[in-house]
Copies of this chain bind each other. A is one copy, B any other.
Amino acid sequence: MLNVVALLKEKSLTVTPQRVEIVTLLSTHQHINVDELYALLYASFPSVSLATVYKNINIMLKKLLLSEVQIPNKKNVYEIMKAEHSHVVCLECNEILDLTINTSELLEAAELQSGFSIDTSSLIFCGTCASCTKS
């Protein structure tokens, strides 16, 4: 169980009830988009504003508390920052899974091939999950 208040303080963010709930929701829904987050947050704070959600996502991205996952043709989703990993998305049911695929060798190959010095990489697979394949 994540200590949300400690995490906010660690990232130098003022602790507000809205923020605590946002981070709690993110920790219980591994990948969530802005609208889903707003809808869930609304259950606890019926007066909450979408602007608050956006402002908080942006500041948490800047503080590296969150990371953003861009999925082709879908809304961006957000997850609590953790070790680098890749994602696989089901195009039918939108399920998203983390994958522990090591991209470090690829990264070296990419640096060699391009002459760039590379900071970040993003790897995402799109397809159909096991249960959608069956049906």
Contact = CB atoms under 8 A, between A and B. Distances in A.
17 contacts: A68-B72, A70-B72, A86-B110, A88-B110, A88-B114, A97-B114, A99-B109, A99-B113, A103-B123, A106-B123, A114-B129, A116-B125, A117-B127, A118-B127, A119-B126, A119-B128, A122-B123
> Which has the most chain B C-beta neighbours within 10 Å: A103, A114, A118?
A114
Nearest to A70: B70
Interface string A59-99: 00000000010101000000000000010101100000101
A50 interface: no
Given A88-B114, A101-B110, A127 B133 contact: no
Given A103-B106, A120-B125, 10 more contacts: A68-B72, A86-B110, A88-B110, A90-B116, A91-B119, A99-B110, A101-B110, A106-B123, A116-B130, A122-B124
